[in-house]
Structure 1
Amino acid sequence: MDVLCDNLNLQSAPGNLPPAIQKLDLSRNVFRNLTRETLAFHVTIRHLNLHSNKIQFIEHDLFKDMANLKIVDLSRNALDVLALSKMSIGHLGAVESLDLSSNGLYTGMTDFFLSNSMSLVNLSLNGNSITKITNNVFCGSLALRKVSLHNNVILEIEDGAFEALPFLTELDLSKNSIACITDFNLSQLKVLNLSKNSLETFQTLDSNLDYELLQLDLSQNKIIYFPLLPRRNNIVHLDISRNQLRSINNTRTLEESANNGELFFPHTQFRVGVRHQCFSSLKYLDLSYNQIKSIPQSFFSSMVLLEVLKMSNNCIGSFFVEQEIPLNNLKVLDLSYNSLRSLTFGENVLLSLEELFLQGNLLAVIDPQTFQRLPSIKYLHLQQNHLKICAAQQKQAESPAGNHERWDPHGCVSFSAIPTLQFLYLSENNLKELPAYAFGDTPLELLDLSSNPGLEVDPKALSGLEDSLVNLSLRENNASRLDTDLSALRRLKFVDLSTNRLSTLPLWHKESSIESLNLQNNNLVTLEYTLLTLERSLKTLYMGSNPLSCCSNLRFLHMVQRSTTVAVPDIASVTCVHVQDSEPVNIEKVTQEMCHSLDDRSVTMIAMVVSVTALLVIVALGLLARSCYARRRKHGSTFSG
């Protein structure tokens, strides 16, 4: 049974609890002393949670008689007070997992908790103030398998501190102040986290010993040279991101160290000469956020199982993959935010690649068929480059004079005939033209063409995407018109046309499947006809910052006001103009009467104008008649004379 008594302002456990308790949660209370009385003699507990109390005292051998107790959480208390008293808590009995995190403990204090804990398997000392790991601190807990010392201020680890733990498989030393790891020899360790330290050096013992290490995290340190890893290793996950790597070489010479103003100690610095390192088990490698300028293809020669390679935010100028080292298990390749000008993929390479990140580079001229060589590609991120899109092959009947050029050879890249590609991001490429049939035989689901000011979209640019395209973004293109027939895209659900200069919208028929439409920041005055045809499918509409006319959109505005299916997230800022030169009105306040009264005034004004005009016509006709009569009389008198 699990009993929850957390956050009840308790100083002791309730005495009327059931006898067969398995888990007792007393966290976030005000316990100060931990004794048999305060625990109400509940000795059958298996899991005891006391985190976030004010515990300063634990009765000696309290846990010795609790034969079933396996898990104890004492984090976020004041156990440094107990440690200062130098009172041992005695035997931990059967306890296998102990959490002493955030207790203000510093070097030497943990001995009072670990001296008699022979069953202890998992230990957490996170968030304390430990500066040094001594070689005898774990002598009373030799069964430890997992030790976490995250977020301390560890500067030094004495020789032999962890070697005494034969079953240790997981060690977390992240977020400390460790500057150097030399001759690492914990061959039985499977997981080692050294991220967020001040490491400049990491090297393992130079031997033929088999290491069982599977995960090594060295991220967010100050490592300049590629670490020296075991010759014989089983590393699957290696993270060296956010360091100061300048190359993938793993050696530095005496001369280089001298030039850097370093003292060179052979037993603590990199050895002269290259150590051959095999990564035949490696599946994940992260080298992002470093200063790497180039990586020779031979570096990947042993990485036959590599699935994820991240090298973003470096200084790499060119990257190529050829048949000698095809990286055919690679699924994710991230080269974003480098200085790439050259990109080359040979035939029959990268056969498993599904996601390719190339955004934030300098790509302008690459082989037009670069991406057709990737038989499994699904996601292609090409934002913030300088690419030009090739015009794809047209149908025979539409091709002038039988001309079947598949692409313009002048520095463009083709996105047609890539049968696996589903997501294509081309924003911020300074694209000027989207030619007809640009994506023919490529079943795109998402197409992002946003932030390409001046982009001219051919009316047939999206031909071929009728049965695949779901998400289309043409945001921030400074477009004044859109001639593409979006109604032909039968699966289209999400359309972003925001921040353009559109005064009219393309027509949609009632079979449209569009669910989300963003029209913000345009020059739209009337939405009445276009959007009423989308009423059946539309669920989300953004339309703020447009010079809408209130009375020209009455039916549409009424639909928005009464609809329970169409959401307008920016409705509070959507306004329309009621009368010329008047202040804009929020669309939620527009009523039919406002426009009807305007119509009545218009009718009255028109009637007045007609009446005045008619009166003036009558007066004019009268004056004309009198003038004619006077002339006739004058002519008659002259004749008789």
Structure 2
Amino acid sequence: MTDQMMMNVKPNQLMKATLQTETSTMVLLLLLLQLLSPLLLSCVAASAGPPRHLPPCQVVQMDVFCSDRSLRSAPVDLPQGVQLLDLSCNQVQNLTRETLAYHTGFYHLNLHANRIHFIQPGLFRDMTELKVLDLSKNHLSVFALSKVSIGPLTAVESLDLSGNGLYTGMSEYFLEESPSLVNLSLNSNSITKIAQNTFSGSSSLEKISLHNNVILEIEDGAFDSLRHLTELDLSKNSITCITDFNLYNLKVLNLSKNSMELFHSASSSQLYNLLNLDLSENKMLYFPFLPRTNVLQYLDVSRNHIQSFNVSGNPEKRANVFLTQLQYLDMSYNRLKTIPETFFCFMRSLEVLNVSNNCIGSFSLTVEGLLPTVKIINLSFNSLQTLTFGENSLPSLEKLFLQGNDLTTLDHHVFQKLPSIKYLQLQQNNLKICDSQQSPYDPELTEQNQVNPPDCVSLSSVRSLHFLYLSENNLQNLPANAFANTPLKLLDLSLNPGLDMDKDSLRGLEHSLVHLLLRENNISSLHTDLSLLQSLKHVDLSTNQLTSLPVWNRESSIESLNLQNNNLVTLDSSTMVALEHSLKTLYMGSNPLNCCSNLGFLNMVQRLAVVVPDIETVTCVHEDFSEPVNIEKLTEGMCQASSNSAYVVVVVVLVLLVVTMVVALLVKRRRSRKRKPNISFRA
């Protein structure tokens, strides 16, 4: 509006326009206030509400526990002489003398999971009794940016700095004045490099954990100054190789979950004290080059890409290492196709050998006394076609895992050559069982096996065997005396559809067998008399086609019986009575039971004489109901009413029949009278 135009506007008009503008503004403000007032009131109410009730710190003698109480500092009324203070999971941000209520006599200080990003310089100088300091899961990377040391930590022996976002070069500010430090955790940080001077101020270290960082490089000599170091955890990093490993005093080394392609020890005759080496979950193509003079007891190279026992693929550089103290060797989940028998030379202390989940086609141990102490061998899930054991080559073997190999042909008496075998897992193969009467085991007659089918294996006279798993073997026949003189406690024959068991197939197990598993075999009836198995306590017959119960008498010791998913309509009352004195658990779900034909079973359930874990799925068919009835809802009255009504129906039908017959007779007699001719006599 120009000056000339402004002069033409009258004062009272200008005032009127101003008032109208102010009125409109006030109206808008009132409307806005009216809309926001509920929100403001709720905020005020929330702020004015009572604070979250937190219990006071717990004091036990000279230990104070204040974990998870939303504290920003220690309580001011701490007892004098407090030794342990737990302030974990609180809201401490600045760690100062005031934060700790000016106490300095701590032995153990736990500040885990706070928000600490500042530490007062010299705070720990006067804490000459402090042995354990936990600063894990804070924000100490912010403090480290100031490049100020928190030291000295003159007496601290255990320090936890894990989960603080520390990266390369930051840990030195916490370690450079820690002469007594023994145990250090730097887990779950962002460290990429271990420098030569990283631990120079902590020469007493015995245990270092650097798990879950991003370590790519370890400078030469980074651990050389640590003469007392015995445990080093470098797992879950990005290390690609270890060359010239020379930590002679180290006892435990964990390099699992890296990207290791090579592990090579220094060529030295000096004794290595390493006891435990974990190289699992890496990318090694060859067996590691281990210290030649060693006392190694535990070696895990599982989940690598190992194909050969040669070092770096050079046939002339074989891993000829004497592992005389080795007790546990895990080479599972690799790409091994064969293991030469010579590999096990000088492993006379080995107790556990795991080579499962490889590509091994043949496995042979024939040299007498080669592995005298081995107790467990796991060859499961390979490609085994041949398996050979020599006499006395495995005198101590107790457990042998062979499942998932598709084995079809074995030496008939391969398992009789294992004098201590207790547990044999043969699941998921294609074995056939020899008849023991046709093939009595005699070591001197091993060449006379022509009487046997060429593709069967003998499981009789394995005199120490207690647990045998033969499920999923496509077994069609189980001959008589299949396990004679083998004191089995558990026998699993499940998942062999169409299995035909001879009536004497379990003979010889009368006094030993406790567990029998026959589930999913498509069995319609059992020819084998289970009542002869006097020690049998647990039987699984689920998911078959059974129409009747196996016969048991009062001598039965059955405690658990699984009959789920069969075709049982009526449970034989005499068998149920015979079982009742010992039976504790019965699975009966998914059977087409007849309600009123199984009142004995109903009474057993109602008296709580037996536990039916799947009672909710146990139903029966009742002619008065269109849907199956849950056995818990069935009463004897329902069956009596049904029988009474049936009786009435029968009586009515009989009466009608009698009446019909009487009427028919009367009608017949009447008709005959009508047809009779009139006879007259004349004199």
> Superposition pairs for residues 146-157 of structure 1, below 5 Å?
146-157=207-218
- For residue 560 of structure 1, the aligned residue among 600, 605, 611 is 605
- The answer as to 2:650 corresponding to 1:606 is yes
Q: Which residue of 2 aligns with 1:480?
A: 524
**Larger deviation, residues 508-517 vs 179-188:** 508-517
What is the rounded CA distance, in whole Å, between the counterparts of 1:187 and 1:314 in structure 2?
32
Match runs of 1:490-509 below 5 Å: 490-509=534-553
What secondary structure does 1:510 align onto? Answer: coil
**Is residue 2:472 matched to residue 1:411?**
no
Q: Which residue of 2 aligns with 1:539?
A: 584
Which residue of structure 1 lines up, in the alignment, with residue 370 of structure 2? 326
1:214-268 CA-to-partner distances (Å, cap 9, x unmatched) read 1111000000011111111111111111000112222325xxxxxxxxxxxxxxx
Number of residues of Structure 1 aligned to a counterpart in Structure 2: 614
Matched with 1:72 is: 133
| 1:594 Cα deviation after fit | 2.4
Moved more, 199-208 or 543-552: 543-552
Q: 1:281 aligns with which of 317, 320, 325?
A: 325
Given that 2:549 and 2:572 are in contact with CA atoms closer than 8 Å, whether structure 1 keeps it comes out as: no
Counterpart mapping for 1:371-390 below 5 A: 371-390=415-434
Of 389, 397, 401, the residue aligned with 1:353 is: 397
- 2-structure distance, mates of 1:639, 1:455: 91
Distance 1:542 1:39 in 2: 62
| Shift, 1:27, TM fit | 2.0
Greater Cα shift, 546-555 or 292-301: 546-555
Matched, 1:13 2:74: yes
What is aligned with 2:641?
Answer: 597
Does structure 1 residue 550 correspond to structure 2 residue 624? no
Farther-moved stretch of structure 1 (45-54 vs 163-172)? 45-54
Matched, 1:55 2:116: yes
Task: Check whether the contact 1:180–1:200 (CA below 8 A) recurs between aligned residues.
Answer: yes
Query: 1:19 and 1:578, CA in 2 relative to 1: closer, same or farther beyond 3 A?
Result: farther
Kept in 1: contact 2:344–2:370 (CA 8 A): no
Matched, 1:126 2:187: yes
CA distance in 2, matches of 1:389, 1:167: 58
Structure 1 residue 294 corresponds to structure 2 residue 355: no
SS in 2 for 1:533: helix
Gaps (5+ residues) in structure 1?
A: 254-270, 397-403
Q: 2:487: which partner in 1?
A: 443
Write the deviation string for residues 534-581 of structure 1: whole angstroms up to 9, x where unpaired.
Answer: 233323222222112222223313432441x63333222222212278
Distance across 2 between alignment mates of 1:186 and 1:349: 36
How far off its partner does 1:102 sit?
1.2
1:29 corresponds to: 90
Residue 473 of structure 1, CA deviation: 0.5
Residue of structure 2 equivalent to 1:623 = 667
Aligned pairs (5 A) from 1:183-262: 183-253=244-314
CA contact (8 A) 1:235 1:281 kept: yes
* Counterpart position of 1:256: none
Q: Distance in 1 between matches of 2:610 and 2:137?
A: 48
Letter in 1 for 2:328: Y
Alpha-carbon separation, structure 1, partners of 2:449 and 2:181: 72
Q: Distance in 2 between matches of 1:561 and 1:410?
A: 55
C-alpha distance in 1, partners of 2:463/2:376?
A: 18
Quote the Cα distance in structure 2 between the aligned partners of 1:183 and 1:235.
17
Q: Structure 2: which 5+ runs fail to align?
A: 1-60, 441-447
CA contact (8 A) 1:139 1:164 kept: yes
* Aligned equivalents of 2:542, 2:409: Cα separation in 1: 30
Corresponding residue of 1:172? 233
Q: Give how far 1:136 is off.
A: 0.8
Structure 2 Cα separation of the partners of residues 314 and 207 of structure 1: 32
When residues 285 and 42 of structure 1 are mapped into structure 2, their CA distance, relative to the original with a 3 A threshold, is same
Aligned to 1:342: 386
Q: Secondary structure at the match of 1:95?
A: coil
Cα distance in 2 for partners of 1:55, 1:480 equals 71
Change (3 A) 1:462 1:69: same
Cα deviation 1:296-338 (Å, max 9, x = unaligned)? 1011111111111110011111111112562111111111111
Distance 2:434 2:406 in 1: 18
Q: Please tell me the residue identity of whatever aligns with 2:296.
A: I
How big is the shift at 1:377? Answer: 0.4
* 1:44 maps to 2:86: no
Match of 2:497 in 1: 453
- Deviation sequence 1:388-410 (CA, Å, 0-9, x none): 111123999xxxxxxx9997343
Alignment partners' CA distance in 1, 2:65 and 2:281:
39
Q: Is the 1:390–1:407 Cα contact (8 Å) retained in structure 2? A: no
Q: Deviations over 1:469-493 (max 9, x none)?
A: 1111101111111122222222222
Correspondence for 2:623 among 579, 590, 608? 579
**CA offset at residue 495 of structure 1?**
1.2
Secondary structure, in 3 states, of the residue corresponding to 2:312?
coil
The answer as to whether partners of 1:498 and 1:520 remain within 8 angstroms in 2 is: yes
State the distance in 2 between where 1:431 and 1:438 align: 13
Q: 1:370 to 1:70 in 2, by over 3 A?
A: same
Shift of 1:279: 0.9
- Deviation per CA, 1:333-362: give whole Å up to 9, x if none: 111111111111111110000000111113
CA contact (8 A) 2:163 2:188 kept: yes
Distance 1:360 1:395, change over 3 A: closer
With over 3 angstroms needed to count, the CA separation of the structure-2 counterparts of 1:301 and 1:579, relative to structure 1, is same
Q: TM-score, normalised by structure 2?
A: 0.86
TM-score if structure 1 supplies the norm length?
A: 0.91
Give the corresponding residue for 2:569: 525
1:446–1:116 distance in 2 versus 1, CA, 3 Å = same
Q: Secondary structure at the match of 1:541?
A: strand
**Hey, what's the Cα distance between the residues in 2 that align with 1:3 and 1:596?**
71
Deviations 1:251-299 (A, max 9, x none): 325xxxxxxxxxxxxxxxxx96335311111111111101100111011
What residue in structure 2 maps to residue 117 of structure 1? 178
Q: 1:440 to 1:20 in 2, by over 3 A?
A: farther
Alpha carbons of structure 1 residues 101 and 593: separation in structure 2 relative to 1, 3 Å: same
The amino acid that maps onto 1:526 is T
Q: In structure 2, what is the Cα distance between the partners aligned to 1:327 and 1:99? A: 43
Percent identity between matched residues is 60
Matched residue SS, 1:462: coil
- Alpha-carbon spacing, 1:46–1:599, altered in 2? closer, same or farther (3 Å): same
2:508 alignment partner, SS class = coil
Separation of aligned partners in 2, 1:639 and 1:286: 126
Match of 1:312 in 2: 356
Instruction: Report how far residue 504 of structure 1 moved.
Output: 0.9
SS of 2:225's partner is coil
Q: Structure 1 CA distance, aligned partners of 2:84 and 2:577?
A: 60
Aligned residue for 2:109, secondary structure, equals: strand
Change (3 A) 1:143 1:438: same
Letter in 1 for 2:583: L
Counterpart residue type for residue 546 of structure 2? L
Structure 1 residue identity aligned to 2:69: L
Alignment check: 8 A CA contact 2:412 2:449 kept: no
Please name the residue that 1:103 is paired with.
164
Which residue does the alignment assign to 2:41?
none
Distance in 1 separating the partners of 2:219 and 2:551: 75
What is the CA-CA distance between 1:183 and the residue it aligns to? 1.0
RMSD: 2.3
Q: Is the Cα–Cα contact under 8 Å of residues 391 and 407 in structure 1 kept in the other structure? A: no
